[in-house]
């Protein structure tokens, strides 16, 4: 874990207070016992193999379980901290994940959350690499080795600045630009295709890889986009945005995923239960 955290044997050795040779020998001994290669060397430092990633997830789960046990038996003094890392699209994290899991702090005050709002759809990779404990990802990215829970789908609506509310929709699609996260973002195009508007769309798109920045650009009249209905609701109520195609939406199927644990801590089960 020290090597993963620091990326090099030299820095890991410094943290652990042992020699580089000592770190290398321990890794070789561990690899021999497991009959697996845990790291490969690269210009960026030590990189985990697939087997190394699996061992890292095991170590992290063991530390969390240890923290839960210590929290239960330490009746006085400082309670042991239990780190929980969750990643997912910013709109879902802000509207449907963070509000419900934060409430669990009343029952589990030892939890320390690390929320990673990632609109780059890297949740599955971060979970695999041991960078996250739970991730919200598209349903079609769930693989057999993951445990998962199907969530209520996102409902995306087409939004533009409030001042465009009275402009005919075909005119907007024909003349205005789309605002998307990046060149790989197909959500707005999927919406347009589902509602027979794709062929009208202007080919040039503005890009902003942050939900708040994207929303601000739309409010300023730079272009139109799609936003999660729950995320967009307050902006529409406040008169900053308009639903350009009322009653129409595009559903995006999502899942909450994690890797199986030999023994699932109760707080972990409660987090999974809370996210809908």
DSSP sequence for 256-271: EEE---SS--HHHHHH
Task: Decide if 52 contacts 38 (C-beta within 8 A).
Answer: yes
Task: Decide if 100 contacts 256 (C-beta within 8 A).
Answer: no
Task: Decide if 179 contacts 261 (C-beta within 8 A).
Answer: no
SS3 68: helix
Among 31-35, 195-199, 219-223, 243-247, name the one with the lowest average pLDDT: 31-35
Kindly indicate the confidence band of residue 76, based on its pLDDT and cuts at 50, 70 and 90. very low
Asked if pLDDT for residue 188 goes beyond 90, the answer is yes
Asked if pLDDT for residue 102 goes beyond 90, the answer is yes
More confident residue, 19 or 66: 19
More confident residue, 29 or 130: 29
DSSP 153: P
Residues of the chain with CATH 1.10.10.10: 1-48
CA distance 51 to 151: 29
- CATH class (in words) of the domain with range 50-149+254-274: alpha beta
| CATH (one of 3.40.228.10, 3.30.700.30, 3.40.190.10, 3.40.640.10) for 154-251 | 3.40.190.10
The whole-model pTM stands at: 0.68
DSSP 20: H
Kindly indicate the confidence band of residue 82, based on its pLDDT and cuts at 50, 70 and 90. confident
DSSP 25: H
% pLDDT > 70, the chain? 94
Residues of the chain with CATH 3.40.190.10: 50-149+254-274, 154-251
Asked if pLDDT for residue 71 goes beyond 80, the answer is no
What is the per-residue pLDDT for 77? 45
Average pLDDT, the chain: 88
| CATH (one of 2.40.50.140, 1.10.630.10, 3.40.50.620, 1.10.10.10) for 1-48 | 1.10.10.10
């Amino acid at each position: 874990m020290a090597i993963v955290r620091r990326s090099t044997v030299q820095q890991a050795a410094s943290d652990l207070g042992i020699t580089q040779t000592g770190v290398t020998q321990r890794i070789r001994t561990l690899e021999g016992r497991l009959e697996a290669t845990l790291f490969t060397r690269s210009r960026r430092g030590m990189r985990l193999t697939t087997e190394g990633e699996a061992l890292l997830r095991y170590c992290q789960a063991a530390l969390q379980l240890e923290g839960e046990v210590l929290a239960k038996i330490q009746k006085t003094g400082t309670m042991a901290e239990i780190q929980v890392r969750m990643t997912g699209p910013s709109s879902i994290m802000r509207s449907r994940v963070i509000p419900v899991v934060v409430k669990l702090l009343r029952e589990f005050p030892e939890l320390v959350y690390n929320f990673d709002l990632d609109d780059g759809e890297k949740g599955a990779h971060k979970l695999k690499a041991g960078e996250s404990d739970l991730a919200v990802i598209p349903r079609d990215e769930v693989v057999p080795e993951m445990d998962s829970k199907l969530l209520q789908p996102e409902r995306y609506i087409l939004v533009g600045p409030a001042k465009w509310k009275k402009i005919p929709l075909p005119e907007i699609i024909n003349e205005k630009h789309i605002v998307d996260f990046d060149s790989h973002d197909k959500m707005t195009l999927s919406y347009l295709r589902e509602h027979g508007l794709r062929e009208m769309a202007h080919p040039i798109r503005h890009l902003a890889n942050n939900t708040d920045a994207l929303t601000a650009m739309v409010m300023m009249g730079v272009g139109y986009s799609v936003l999660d209905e729950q995320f967009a609701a307050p902006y529409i109520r406040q008169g900053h945005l308009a639903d350009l195609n009322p009653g129409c939406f595009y559903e995006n199927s999502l899942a909450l995923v994690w890797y199986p644990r030999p023994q699932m801590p109760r707080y972990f089960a409660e987090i999974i239960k809370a996210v809908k």
